Structure 1
Amino acid sequence: MSRSALKLRSWPLTILYYLLPFAALRPLARVGWRPTSRVAIYKSVPTRLLSRAWGRLNQVELPTWLRKPVYSLYIWTFGVNMKEAAVEDLHQYRNLSEFFRRKLKPQARPVCDSHCVISPADGKILHFGRVKNCEVEQVKGVTYSLESFLGPQTWTENLPISKTSFQDQLVTKEGNELYHCVIYLAPGDYHCFHSPTDWKVFHRRHFPGSLMSVNPGVARWIKELFCYNERVVLTGGWQHGFFSLTAVGATNVGSIRIYFDRDLQTNSPRYSKGSHNDMSYVTNNNQDGIVMRKGEQLGEFNLGSTIVLIFEAPKDFTFNLKAGQKIHFGEAVGSL
């Protein structure tokens, strides 16, 4: 595609995705504004309010005659492959929300059987590797605190709490390491996410934070961006120890849905800054929590966002990835 065509396609992206784009703050650099000032201005934008307004707009039923031109513009802007969609007829999607959350044909995403961890979603690999010094990289060179991201370790009594570092507390088996993988879902990607492995979900923690853009360009600028944003942390265990999947919200993505958790309500009008609420899936009648199988449907976003996997595995665990690569749900992340 020519450079001029790419520029032409960028204006609908600004309208449809950012609403108040972070890129609009860049001119401030040319008049001497410091990066910290520009970041502070961006953080002050009422992204939660804008996201709720965007969510309501998405629910408005479009006239049948308007659906094809509106969705076609979106398809052209973000390069959506509608041949993979379970419903290809654009007239069948009553509103933008239904179109964003479209399902795929069953054969569109075969699940890799030869690797123990698969990609839970379509997206772009931002970063992966071992967790070091209790920090995780959101993009290369920009980190965030593991404890700030997951919150205090209280979700299960089975994990040791006497170890010195938060990272060590998560590693339940001697000789294991802690690994991470960050997947960015663009607006044109398939918005549902699935179980990346066979595991049991014991606990859900919801952080009702900001809803700043998680576009890689923004992630390079704002340290601990993922710790500021609203997110849903699912923690539990798999055959090698600790396992977690975190769905991170973003601008215009106030809706994070977990299919087995009807009590979860995201992007509420009021919340206490820095707060979180917990839900345990382990009860006297159900000691296993929520049992998930590799590839099973887990949840969905209302637009593009980010998924972060943090898990324990033996030292010989190997990633089958390259930073920056495009990946589809069901494809291999790594194996032993």
Structure 2
Amino acid sequence: MLDMTSMADTKIGSWRSLALKCHHTLPMKFRLQFPQLALRRRLGQLSCMSRPTARLRSWPLSFLYYILPFGALKPLAKVGWRPTSRVTIYKTIPTRLLSRAWGRLNRVDLPNWLRKPIYNLYIWTFGVNMKEAAVEDLQHYRNLGEFFRRKLKPQVRPVCDSHCVISPADGKILHFGRVKNCEVEQVKGVTYSLETFLGPRTWSESLTANRNEDDPGTFQDALVTKEGNELFHCVIYLAPGDYHCFHSPTDWRVAHRRHFPGALMSVNPGVARWIKELFCHNERVVLSGEWTHGFFSLTAVGATNVGSIRIYFDKELRTNNPRYNKGTYNDFSYVTNNNQEGISMRKGEHLGEFNLGSTIVLLFEAPRDFTFNLQAGQKIRFGEALGTM
């Protein structure tokens, strides 16, 4: 037995020596084919796998492809390898799980000696103006969650009385204007479907405005309740350093709430440019109702680390649950389950809050002469006017 083993080892060593000798004697162009053949064989194995498995196996290599400088992995394209797209890689990140973990971390009380260093780092990073806070003393905030949801001094955000629609929150104007062809722009050049964003128009049963049900036309036309009106929209992005509460943008009656469980991808304008229908993928809470000119809705869109969207008058709402079915939604009527009038909100009244920055989308009908007094990309503060008629 020992003799047979030693003979086998001898043969293996001989073949290995022969292979090395041939490798060194071959011209350089043939020598380079050896790693290419190995890569092709490996890529062939990936092509035989199911698409999710292949995507998972190639994820680390694709990640390195995008972060390594000087195109270090670009030569792999010569042997037939193609990197997984940035969007696909980003969508595989468990943002809901990370957001729930971040939420738990935010609720952990910090020791007194650690509060000022942590909060001052956040203030310096995101440019928070603590002089506007109702409580400026950093020791007052027991945890990060309380600091994020800090209240403001009433006098620093006066509500404009001369205009019917005001900004519901501090933030940055991403886009605004008339809704066209049943699509809304999330950022310039990137649109999403109005019907996908709001869901089926079954909630209209809670509204009392007269509609032409015989010929509703498009989904957009069905939302316009009065002749001579048009549908408008405004998208406001709340950065991490902004005031995280949002308020009622006008005097209106909230009749219905629709909660869409979903992803919690970042709604940063940079991400919104390369993920189509980002706002339709993310978790969101749609409040719909009526104001003096007809249909009015406010949608709070969740994002990474925004695992909780809170509506003050709705104690039943629970967001970022561990399990959900993709594409589903939950309806709740304030007219049938609360009272016959719905929830009356006054302009500037506290409406809800995020646990970090996110996005507010306003969709409403108004007379055709309504005009926005805004510029895309401008900073706006709660209480300032959005437009005039």
User: Is the structural similarity TM-score above 0.5?
Assistant: yes
Residues 48-197 of structure 1 mapped to structure 2, 5 A cutoff:
48-157=96-205, 158=208, 159-161=211-213, 162-197=215-250
Hey, what's the Cα distance between the residues in 1 that align with 2:139 and 2:222?
52
Q: CA deviation digits over 1:148-182, x for unaligned, max 9?
A: 00000011224444312100010001111000000
Number of equivalent positions: 314
Give, in angstroms, the shift of residue 286 of structure 1: 2.2
In terms of mean alpha carbon deviation, does 37-46 or 153-162 score higher?
Answer: 153-162
- The separation in 1 between residues aligned to 2:100 and 2:338, in whole angstroms, is 37
- Pick from 294, 300, 304: which aligns with 2:353? 300
User: Aligned-pair distance for 1:25?
Assistant: 8.6
The answer to whether the aligner puts 1:331 opposite 2:384 as a matched pair is yes
- Distance in 2 separating the partners of 1:25 and 1:312: 47
Q: Which is richer in strand? A: 1
> Larger helix proportion, structure 1 or 2?
2
TM-score by length of 2: 0.78
Within 5 Å, give how 1:135-284 maps onto structure 2: 135-157=183-205, 158=208, 159-161=211-213, 162-283=215-336
Q: Taking structure 1 as reference, are residues 155 and 93 closer, same or farther at Cα in structure 2, changes over 3 Å only?
A: same
Residues 114, 267 of structure 1: alpha-carbon distance in 2 compared, 3 angstrom cutoff: same
Secondary structure of 2:98's partner? helix
Cα separation, 1, equivalents of 2:244 and 2:380: 13
Distance 1:284 1:75, change over 3 A: closer
State the match for 1:44 in structure 2. Answer: 92
* AA aligned opposite 2:292: Q
RMSD: 1.8
Aligned partners of 1:25 and 1:38 also within 8 Å: no
Deviations 1:296-316 (A, max 9, x none): 000000000000000000000
- Correspondent of 1:27 among 64, 67, 75: 67
Displacement of 1:35 in angstroms is: 8.9
Q: Which residue in the other structure is 2:39 paired with?
A: none
Amino acid at match of 2:328: S
Shift of residue 68 of structure 1? 0.2
Tell me the percent identity: 81
User: How far did 1:284 drift?
Assistant: 7.9
Q: CA deviation at 1:287?
A: 2.0
Distance 2:371 2:266 in 1: 30
Contact map agreement 2:65 2:83 (CA 8 A) in 1 = no
Contact 1:25 / 1:42 at 8 angstroms: preserved in 2?
no
Gaps of 5+ in 2: 1-62, 75-80
Provide closer, same or farther for how the CA distance between residues 64 and 234 of structure 1 changes in structure 2, counting only shifts above 3 A.
same
> How far apart, in 2, do the equivalents of 1:96 and 1:52 lie?
14
Q: What TM-score results when the alignment is normalised by the length of structure 1? A: 0.90
Moved over 3 A (4+): 23-26, 28-36, 158-162
Q: Is the 8 A contact 1:195 1:298 kept in 2?
A: yes
Q: CA deviation at 1:41?
A: 1.3
Q: Is 2:179–2:232's contact at 8 Å kept on the other side of the alignment?
A: yes
Match of 1:6 in 2: none
SS in 1 for 2:85: helix
Q: CA-to-partner distance for each residue in 1:9-49, whole Å, 9 max, x for gaps? A: xxxxxxxxxxxxxx999538955697972101111111000
Contact 2:286-2:298 within 8 A present in 1 as well: yes
Q: Go from structure 1 to structure 2 and tell me whether the alpha carbon gap of 1:35 and 1:183 turns closer, same or farther (over 3 Å shift).
A: farther
* Secondary structure class of the residue paired with 2:203: coil
Gaps of 5+ in 1: 1-22
Structure of larger gyration radius: 2
Greater RCO (Cα-Cα under 8 Å, separation 6 or more): 1
What is the identity, as a one-letter code, of the residue corresponding to 1:134? C
Q: Give the SS at the match of 1:148.
A: helix
